[in-house]
Amino acid sequence: VQGMKPVASGCEWINGQWRNEDALALMAAANTDLDYADVNPYALPLATAPQIASRQAGITVELPTMQKAFMQLGASADFVLVEGVGGWCAPLGAQGMQADLVRALELPVVLVVGLRLGCLNHALLSVRAIEADGCTLAGWIGNRIDADMLRAEDNIDTLKSRIDAPLLGILEHGTAPTPAFDPDCLLRRLAHAHPNGNN
């Protein structure tokens, strides 16, 4: 399994190149040995929306570059999990949107819902946008980013009742994934949604 972060804003200058913390974490967690440029083709220095960060850096974010990197990763892995940036409706650059990349790579979508006040509106609007963009929602993951969220379970139950795609797991606050979060289940669901193996 290999992670990919096609566009990352907020990078550090390390050994003469821009590097992103999330992309480095994906590389460390992978069981493949591939080039950073394939894992993160667009490393943007400014920690802001990718469209703004790419303009500030004088970089044009292009689909063919990301597709080529995805194919490179896919040649050495059974699964490629692609991480978005900035939320579903955040433009990737001057032209492209997240949905354009998902359609170009023919990927199903896993929505990560930050469990905090406002998550119902945010999650349900995101689901609506994903479906309106003609993409497949394979499932969603709850991320307990607010350990003190009031009525968290009620919010989870509401989302389960209103999102047709399955809940794939809950990541607890401040801990490593627990048995309640089943990565194998996630991979099985993604493989079912996208039979060629690259997700």
Nearest-angstrom CA–CA distance, 196 and 190: 10
Catalytic residues: 5
Which stretches of 33-150 are DSSP H helices? 36-39, 50-57, 63-74, 98-105, 119-132
Tokens of 110: 């896993």
Nearest-angstrom CA–CA distance, 17 and 32: 21
Q: What is the pLDDT of residue 124?
A: 98
- pTM for the whole structure: 0.86
Q: Could you give the count of Cα atoms lying within 13 Å of 145 in the half-sphere of its Cβ?
A: 11
Q: What is the pLDDT of residue 185?
A: 62
Helix (H, G, I), strand (E, B) or coil at 97: coil
For 198, phi then psi, to 5°, come to: -95, 120
Q: What is the pLDDT of residue 197?
A: 45
pLDDT in tens, the chain (199 residues): 899 999 999 999 999 999 999 999 999 998 888 899 999 999 999 999 999 999 999 999 999 999 999 999 999 899 999 999 999 999 998 889 999 999 999 999 999 999 999 999 999 999 999 999 999 999 999 999 999 999 999 999 999 999 999 999 999 987 665 545 555 666 666 666 555 445 4
